[in-house]
Amino acid sequence: MTEAGYNFAYLDEATKRMIRRAILKAVAIPGHQIPFGAREMPLPYGWGTGGIQVTASILGPTDVLKVIDQGADDTTNAVSIRRFFTRVAGIATTDATGEASIIQTRHRIPEKPLTENQILVYQVPQPEPLFRLEPHRAETRRLHALADYGLMHVRLYEDIARLGHIAKAYDYPVMVNERYLMSPSPIPAFDNPKMHQMAALQLFGAGREKRIYAVPPYTPVRSLDFEDHPFRPIRAPQACAICGSKTSYLDELVTDDAGGRAFICSDTDYCQERQAAPKAAAE
Amino acid sequence: MSILLRTEGLSKAFTLHLQGGTRIPVLGQVDLAVSAGECVALSGPSGAGKSTLMRCLYGNYGVGSGRILLAHRGEELDLASADPRAVVAARRQTIGYVSQFLRVIPRVSTRDIVADPMMARGMAREDALVRASALLDRLNLPERLHGLPPATFSGGEQQRVNLARGFGPRYPVLLLDEPTASLDAGNRAIVIGLIHEAKQAGTAIVGIFHDAEVREAVADRVFTVEPMQDAA
Amino acid sequence: MKTLLEAKALRLNFGAIAALDDVSLDVTAGEVVAIVGESGSGKTTLLRVLAGQMAPDSGAVHYLGRDVLGMTEAERRRLMRSDWGFVHQNPRDGLRMGVSAGGNVGERLMALGARHYGNIRDEAKAWLQRVEIDAGRIDDLPRHFSGGMQQRLQIARTLVTRPKLVFMDEPTGGLDVSVQARLLDLIRALVRELGLSVLIVTHDIAAARLLADRILVMRRGQVVEQGLTDRVLDDPQHPYTQLLVSSVLAA
């Protein structure tokens, strides 16, 4: 038994069953949003309650949990959530991507490719990709049902007409299984290609909006684009100042008042692995 | 020669509901037949119903009773009872109408107005435009007017546009309502020429000609429309 | 002559008022049919029922043999995106006001699978020119267009996918007279060029005469007279038609 009074992973079993049912439906219809009865969580909306509820519902005593926030294991939110699950589930946790069976993430996909034995749980603020284009929920549900995505096409067209390129740097809309338009959550557009045919199961939880959706393993996920304006993943052209990676997604850090800046890997575990590797090779 | 247009017992009355339902009979049991190559002139006093008869023949006015049989696509079509779509087809293909008054469509050039019915009948656009220009030239309409919409043309000029539009498609049957009313002697002669050519090509023509000279030059016979008595 | 649309015995009551009282009509391929009448005649209601936007109390509507009233919303939307077009009286109802002219015209192309930005843009430009909008305004928002331009843009947006049947609800309503004339002429030319079939509702008899092969006159939910346009307007039989025609002021 964990900290006194709490069921394993905080949620009662009936709630977990309800959420698991929603997850099953979501997996059966890739990219389609399933409503669920989100519960009161010990964090306010906007702090990852959706992701936490999904994780709580799939967590088992032998799972190893990794939690990252913008790629880092050591930021406040990541630390809080990891400690929460330690207290209410007593499971093992890790910073190493390769050792985790469940990875809960806010706004990034780990650089290290995931395996069939892993589940990636995304925290989602706004599950509806058409939200800014069509304010009525009843109407967006109809549009999804009819696969009528003219609004999004028009938005992309307008970007190119006005700016010469599609102006979505994060939360870049994708077509899942060539059927549903989906919001991948505010991950950088750079991460979108990782979703395509990923070996791991991807689950998405939105607590405030009370929606769950999923991308099963090995599902086609295509970023929307035009034939003559193809999707290009964008990163800063620099190399990481610490590990030297020229392929990982970089955070830009302001280092002094004189305009100095440094670019460092956003994925802390990836960066550390790379730092350790030459030492290991040297030994 | 074959009869291309004939009426059987054609009768028509107007009922003016806005004037208390006054009923005015205009045509009573009219039997008219026109053969290919023949020109029949309608005669009768003013108000006798000549124009009314013409409009009935074109389907522009409905009839009270009787039939109007047009030789159309190898069959006899009764314009009096035909489906409106059949009348539209007959007008496109077989029967033309030249009135004194040109209903102007804004922004369409004279040449296009004349070419339109020819194209509707199947002529290629370029050929239709060439023939339109030729007809307008023949009718002495100055070239500088060919590209303008005819809204600002004089009565005589508008009538000549109408004539070009009517004679262009070479309809088997042609109805001419006062074709020379606003024309001078020179242009009247040209119209006479057009009518003769049409007759020689086998066109059946029904016309109202107030001008005796024109009537004598083109009509093979006269059909008198007797005025009917007003209803009590 | 292929029958595109067929309506039989339509009835629709709003409480005690008969908006549609046993109305039947049909539209064949390539013809323009005008429905005229004054306010409250039921003509707009009729158009909405025919386009599947409103259900009658009884009666049937068939498009190429398919039951329009029995269609699912999905089927009707698909029809409206491909075979059908609808030009609204107020262009704001038929346009995305916050989307550029090019985006408005290109949307239907993209909805049908067009994926090449350059081609979509070229086709949008061509259509703008066809409706006499300067192609240089392709990136402008419709809210910066005049009423007549907005209406022409709506027409371009509707016709870009070459629908077979176009419903028009008072397309020239609210426009200045000279603007109306230009729009009517444009519609006339496009109808002939593209071989469209059109069902147009209007209270403007002159517009009906210009555009339509056949005309239906409605009053209080009933079709009081119908037939060849020039026949109905030049030799009206029904008392109401005679009243309507005699009421039109000549310029």
SS3 category, A249: coil
Task: Test A153 with C99 for CB contact under 8 angstroms.
Answer: no
Task: Test B62 with C231 for CB contact under 8 angstroms.
Answer: yes
Interface residue C97 vs chain A (CB under 8 A):
no
Interface residue C235 vs chain B (CB under 8 A):
yes
Residue range B112-153, pLDDT digits in tens: 999 999 998 989 999 999 999 999 999 999 999 999 999 889
Read off the pLDDT of each residue in B172-180 and give the average, rounded to a whole number: 94
How does C144-180 read in b/e, with b if 16+ C-beta sit within 10 Å?
ebebbbbbbbbbbbbbbbebbbbbbbbbbbebeeebb
- Interface test mutation site (partner C, options B85, B91, B152, max chain C beta carbons within 10 A): B85
> What percent of chain B stands above pLDDT 70?
98
Across the B:C interface, residue pairs with CB atoms under 8 Å apart total 52
Sign of the torsion angle spanned by Cα atoms A154, A155, A157, A161: positive
Q: Are strands A211-215 and A34-35 parallel, antiparallel or unpaired?
A: antiparallel
Mean of pLDDT over chain B: 91
Please say if A259 is a catalytic residue.
no
Closest residue in C to A164 (Cα) is: C117
Tally of residues, chain C? 251
Interface residue C31 vs chain B (CB under 8 A):
yes
User: For the CA atoms of chain A, what is the radius of gyration?
Assistant: 19
Cα(C208)–Cα(C204) distance, rounded to whole angstroms? 6
What pLDDT score does B232 carry?
A: 39
Global ipTM: 0.89
CA A34 to chain centre: 17
Interface residue C11 vs chain B (CB under 8 A):
no
Please say if A243 is a catalytic residue.
yes
CB-CB neighbors (< 8 A) of C181 in chain B: 106-107
Q: Are C218 and C63 in contact (CB under 8 A)?
A: no
What pLDDT score does B132 carry?
A: 96
Please say if A240 is a catalytic residue.
yes
- The catalytically annotated residue of A48, A71, A207, A265 is A265
What pLDDT score does A280 carry?
A: 61
* DSSP secondary structure string for all residues of B108-164: --HHHHHHHHHHHTT--HHHHHHHHHHHHHHTT--HHHHTS-GGG--HHHHHHHHHH
Whose structure tokens read 């906007």?
Answer: A46
Cα(A214)–Cα(A199) distance, rounded to whole angstroms? 13
Residue range C56-85, pLDDT digits in tens: 999 999 999 999 999 998 888 889 888 999
- Interface test mutation site (partner C, options B104, B107, B113, B116, max chain C beta carbons within 10 A): B107
What pLDDT score does C60 carry?
A: 95
Position B205, amino acid? I
Please say if A31 is a catalytic residue.
yes
Chain B residues 24-63 with a CB less than 8 Å from chain C: 55, 59-62
Q: Are B168 and B131 in contact (CB under 8 A)?
A: yes
The larger pLDDT score, comparing residue A279 to residue C206, is at: C206
What pLDDT score does A283 carry?
A: 46
Whose structure tokens read 């309409």?
Answer: B141
What pLDDT score does A1 carry?
A: 46
Interface residue B212 vs chain C (CB under 8 A):
no
Q: C250 pLDDT band (50/70/90 cuts)?
A: low
The larger pLDDT score, comparing residue A214 to residue C179, is at: A214
What pLDDT score does B46 carry?
A: 82
- The catalytically annotated residue of A31, A48, A205, A207 is A31
Q: Are C165 and C85 in contact (CB under 8 A)?
A: yes
> Widest CA span of chain A, in angstroms?
62
Q: C32 pLDDT band (50/70/90 cuts)?
A: very high
What pLDDT score does A279 carry?
A: 64
Closest residue in B to C180 (Cα) is: B106
Compute mean pLDDT per 10 residues along chain A, 283 residues long, and list them.
Answer: 77 97 98 96 94 98 97 95 95 97 97 97 97 92 91 93 92 96 96 98 98 98 96 93 94 92 95 84 50
Subunits close to C (at least 3 CB pairs below 8 A):
A, B
Question: Has residue B104 got a pLDDT over 80?
Answer: no
Cα(B168)–Cα(A53) distance, rounded to whole angstroms? 81
- Which residues lie below 8 Å from residue C130, measured CB to CB, with a gap of 6+? C156, C190
CB-CB neighbors (< 8 A) of C230 in chain B: 60
The larger pLDDT score, comparing residue A68 to residue C210, is at: A68
Closest residue in A to C104 (Cα) is: A154
SS3 category, C218: strand
